[in-house]
Amino acid sequence: MTVLASAVVAVGTVSGVVSASSGETERTTAVPEVTRSPVMPPLPAVPSPSATTASPTPTATATATKKPVAKKPPKQKQPPRQQSAPVSGSLYLHPDSQVLDWVRANRGDPRRALIQSRIAAQPAAVWFAEYNPSTIASKVRAVTSGAAAAGRVPVVVPYAIPERDCGGASQGGAPDFDAYDGWIRNFASGLGKGDVIVILEPDSMAQTDCLDDSQRANRFAALSRAGKAVHAANPNARVYFDAGHSGWHAPEKMAGQLRQANVATSGDGIFTNVSNFHRTADEVAYARQVLAAVGGPSSLGAVIDTSRNGNGAPAAGEWCDPEGRALGRPPTTRTGESRIDAYLWVKLPGESDGCKGAAGSFTPDYAMDLATG
């Protein structure tokens, strides 16, 4: 399994693909067009409550008349966070993407009309794959403010978790978790106050076999903080955590990891099938199994990437622009399925995995294959 096929707009381009294999350890990744982010001084960590300082040990000169230290009242348990309501508005089509660039530049191409109507006209996710703490807020704000002006709901993908892609082809991200905490806070500050769907770090939960127990715990804690940071900045944001896909890990395994990341209090649900090909019906069943294994609350939902799953998954091991695939269901927040909040195009169809075109590039022949498949 791998992660993304590419950023949808030029806010940070990254490449990779999802293996359709059902094995838990098999993974293949396309050659990327990015390099590892440069090592930068870590940003300040998220302040945490100071530990209670113990009272100094009484000295021999202390007297019996000294007033006793008053005990602090017991800390009140915080009520669970109110889950955001599922969005129901129309999804946002961002005006900048590789497919739109191609459509504008190729008005005489006979493939243009079909690609424009079937792919370019569909709302898709906007990826933020560059570790850019000083500019990320303004880049996110440009997308969310455009969506707000249009009365639409944007789908945004923060993708800068440390040790991204386990050092593979889509490697990069923040240099450490302190830096990531700062980056995600800045990301969240650009979200505005309107409805927005956040696909939090594809592959960050399902692809952790390269990490040891301590590293996994640190990652899950960082994702939990990320969800909280997004909600603190925008209570109307819907944050979805990675749950892999139906051909990867067992639902119980993913649910256990999601609990460690506090999805019930830091998120609003899960996402599946990002950049993959598994049929929608299989993903709906799998998502419900994961949610049931998480154990609640009942308001947790799921979103499914349907961008390339019209014909289901290819044979095991075929992951790079496989033949015979097709577009899936159009993006919508009206699925008609309980606990399935949306079908989304997280991976933009036509952006190559690295075989029919350069990894991450829009490839019109591949787009036509998907549009006519």
* 52-107 pLDDT per residue, tens: 223 333 333 333 333 344 444 444 444 556 677 777 679 999 999 999 999 999 99
Q: Is 165 a catalytic residue?
A: yes
Number of H helices, E strands in the chain: 9, 7
* pLDDT score recorded for residue 81: 60
Catalytic choice (165, 176, 242, 341): 165
Q: Which two tokens stand for residue 247?
A: 């051909």
| More confident of the two residues 4 and 259 | 259
The residues, any chain, with a CB within 8 Å of residue 284's CB and separated by 6 or more, are 302, 304, 337, 340
Catalytic choice (195, 268, 353, 369): 353
Average pLDDT of the segment spanning 202-223: 96
The percent of residues above 70 in pLDDT, for the chain, comes to 77
Q: Is 203 a catalytic residue?
A: yes
Residue type, 216: R
To the nearest 10 degrees (0 to 180), the angle between helices 251-260 and 280-294 is: 50
* pLDDT score recorded for residue 42: 27
Q: What gap in Å lies between CA 189 and CA 191, rounded to an integer?
A: 6
The percent of residues above 90 in pLDDT, for the chain, comes to 72
Q: What gap in Å lies between CA 251 and CA 283, rounded to an integer?
A: 11
* pLDDT score recorded for residue 60: 32
Catalytic choice (203, 268, 305, 369): 203
Banded model confidence at residue 49, pLDDT cuts 50, 70, 90: very low
Banded model confidence at residue 365, pLDDT cuts 50, 70, 90: very high
* pLDDT score recorded for residue 79: 52
Helix (H, G, I), strand (E, B) or coil at 187: helix
Average pLDDT of the segment spanning 302-321: 96
Q: Is the predicted pLDDT of residue 255 greater than 70, yes or no?
A: yes
Q: What gap in Å lies between CA 94 and CA 96, rounded to an integer?
A: 6
Q: Is 101 a catalytic residue?
A: no
The pTM of this model reads 0.81
Beta-ladder partners of 198: 156, 239
DSSP string, 90-103: PBP--S--HHHHHH
Helix (H, G, I), strand (E, B) or coil at 215: helix
Q: What gap in Å lies between CA 280 and CA 245, rounded to an integer?
A: 11
* pLDDT score recorded for residue 69: 43
* pLDDT score recorded for residue 63: 33
